[in-house]
A and B are shown apart, each in its own frame.
Chain A
Amino acid sequence: MGWNMRRILIASLGGLLLMIAATGAAALLVFQRLEAAEAAQRTSLLDHSTWMRRVENGILLSGTLARDYSADPNGAEAPALLARISQVETETRRAMAQSSGIEEELRGEVGAYWQVLDFMLEMARKRASPGVDAYFRRELAERRESMLQVAAKIGRALDSEWRQGEARLAALYRRLRWILGAEMALVVGLGLVLSVGAARRLLLLEGETRSLSAQLQRAQEEERRSIARELHDEIGQAMSRIVLDVGRASKLTESPAVRLQLAAISESAERTVEAVRRIALSLRPSMLDDLGLVAALEWQAREVGNRTGLDVEVCAEDSAGEMPDAQRTCIYRVTQEALQNCVRHADASSVRLGLTKGDKSVTLRVQDNGKGFRTARTRGLGLLGMEERVARLGGRMRLRSEVGRGTTLTVELPL
């Protein structure tokens, strides 16, 4: 993974995390605000109703006191009653002043009530007569009626206040839901955009890597082939010519010493031919190009057999090996690797190589009688390389193995 890709991934994942954190923080804040608003609403309503009730009580109490006073304006209790009424008035006015939420209309009405009451009390004190008393009692009944109306108005005001508060809270909740929903949608949307972008970039990079490694492998194979050819053709043939010429030269001379020298030259040239041949074959077997895949596999089988004692049997018709160069090379290299695995790890004594060609694909099977292994656990670099080669040509590789029951490798390549 390149530096660029890493930066993109870090940035996108980091951004996503930040957004999720921000959403969470925002939600917490809104909740807190909501809670505070609810508490404030409750407190203010409570205060409100307390003050209202005080005003209401003041009015009720003042009405009762005023009636008591009017029953006997000149009695012994009268001064005390008046003092009590004026105290209630003061308290009620204070309560009115403190309760800021009361509507002006109510305020005016309550104020007017007190004015009437004050005036009437004054009249009662100054001119105490039965006529005035009767008028006063009538006025008082009217004031009571009006007071009851005021109380009902206050109750209604409280109710409507409460309902308004509830509505405000509901609106606040709606706003919170909306904000949270929007933020969530934003996070999901951005996350989607980021992850799709990152995934696309990743796929692109993977494809590039794959095609690069394919190019590399093709170049390597081509290089090997050309070096092998060059070695074989140029050096090998020139050496063969030397052997020919030296042989002819030795027939032209009678001197045993010269003949001995020439024989030594010839021998060293022959050894060189052999070495060149060996090196060339190890780079890329000429059979693969001269004789075809099956011959190359048979050669490989014999080489491995001679080198390690492994008995390798090849079951394939010559025609099964007829395929394009890329597929041929792939099968050959995979077989090479598989046989090497049999020798190195499998502890096998015999291997069967099978190559069959269908209409649209070719199948290679390498079956050994070795100790087997757990395919899920062990996956060496060699196997990965084989899989990579096969996958590049659109083929499939399957490995079946059980401990103690050998290993079968199957490779299928489309043609």
Chain B
Amino acid sequence: MNRIRVLLADDHAILRAGLRLLLEREPDFVVVAEAGDGRAAVESLAREPADVAVMDVAMPGLNGIEATAQIARQYPKTAVIMLSMHSDEAYVLRCLRAGARGYILKESAEHELIAAMRAVVAGKSYFSPKVKRLLREDHVARLERSGSADRFELLTSREREILQLIAEGNSNKEVAARLFLSVYTVETHRKNILEKLHLHGPADLILYAVRKGMVV
């Protein structure tokens, strides 16, 4: 059986060691490389290809977000999971825009890291429940404060269905297959959804779905 190859990038050796211990308990994971900063992480992928990169957000030199953006461009087959101490949406959004597929808090890594890795390897997204909860609460609070209408109401039921599937990590092609539609139609729906919600790209779309509680 092919084991899942993992790259660990965190500038704190003590935490890296902890994560390594955690992964060694799982027979289907193997840590192929460790890196202490973003640049080392990107460089190590050239020598040791990995399926998943576990990336600390704040690192010296090239930080985790910039490293993620480079990995997403150069090694699209490597899924990046951000490991962060921040549950704030500013961090989540920028990590998603950089191309991260998962976002988990360091404090809950023990419980969630394995599940997150399995999810992103399967092509789905993963967020710490606490992050999801905070994003949702924040969204609701903001809607209440500004008193503006929830733009979600503007979506048709078909658009909501497509939004849900995209947020779960399905590609346009997969969505088209699930709903018996043409890829072209899915693409059009997708554009309409972005327009109606005033969103700018796939990262915003996923974040929006998380805020709405659509990503489980």
In the complex, chain B residues whose CB is within 8 Å of the CB of A305: 141-142, 145
| CB of B15 closer than 8 Å to a CB of A | yes
Task: Return the contact of A291 from the options B65, B85, B141, B142 (Cβ within 8 A).
Answer: B65
Q: What are 11 A-B contacts with C-beta separation under 8 Å?
A: A236-B85, A238-B14, A244-B19, A244-B109, A247-B111, A302-B90, A305-B142, A311-B142, A311-B145, A311-B147, A318-B94
Closest 3 CB pairs of A and B: A247-B110, A295-B90, A240-B106
In the complex, chain B residues whose CB is within 8 Å of the CB of A357: none
| CB of A313 closer than 8 Å to a CB of B | yes
| CB of B57 closer than 8 Å to a CB of A | yes
Interface flags, B106-118, vs A, CB<8A=1, else 0: 1101110000000
Grouping DSSP codes into helix (H, G, I), strand (E, B) and loop, the B interface class, with mixed when no group exceeds half, is helix
A231, chain B: closest CB distance, angstroms: 11
Most A-side CB within 10 Å, residue of B110, B142, B146, B147 = B110
Tally B residues with Cβ within 8 Å of A. Answer: 32
Instruction: Name A306's closest neighbour in chain B (CB-CB).
Output: B141
Most A-side CB within 10 Å, residue of B93, B106, B147 = B106
Q: A290-B65, A318-B94 are in contact. List 4 more A-B contacts (CB 8 A).
A: A232-B85, A241-B18, A243-B107, A295-B91
Interface flags, A320-364, vs B, CB<8A=1, else 0: 000000000000000000000000000000100000000000000
A240 in contact with B109 (CB, 8 Å): yes
Tally A residues with Cβ within 8 Å of B. Answer: 35
In the complex, chain B residues whose CB is within 8 Å of the CB of A298: 89-90
A302 in contact with B57 (CB, 8 Å): no
In the complex, chain A residues whose CB is within 8 Å of the CB of B93: 295
| CB of A237 closer than 8 Å to a CB of B | yes
Interface residues of B (CB under 8 A from A): 11-12, 14-15, 18-19, 21-22, 25, 57-58, 63, 65, 85-86, 88-91, 93-94, 106-107, 109-111, 138, 141-142, 145-147
A290 in contact with B63 (CB, 8 Å): yes
A244 in contact with B110 (CB, 8 Å): yes
B15 in contact with A350 (CB, 8 Å): no
In the complex, chain A residues whose CB is within 8 Å of the CB of B141: 305-306
Supposing A291-B90, A295-B94, A350-B146 touch, asked if A240 and B138 sit within 8 A by C-beta, the answer is no
B81, chain A: closest CB distance, angstroms: 15
A240 in contact with B85 (CB, 8 Å): yes
Instruction: Name B21's closest neighbour in chain A (CB-CB).
Output: A248
B107 in contact with A273 (CB, 8 Å): yes
A240 in contact with B107 (CB, 8 Å): yes
Supposing A233-B12, A245-B18 touch, asked if A290 and B58 sit within 8 A by C-beta, the answer is yes
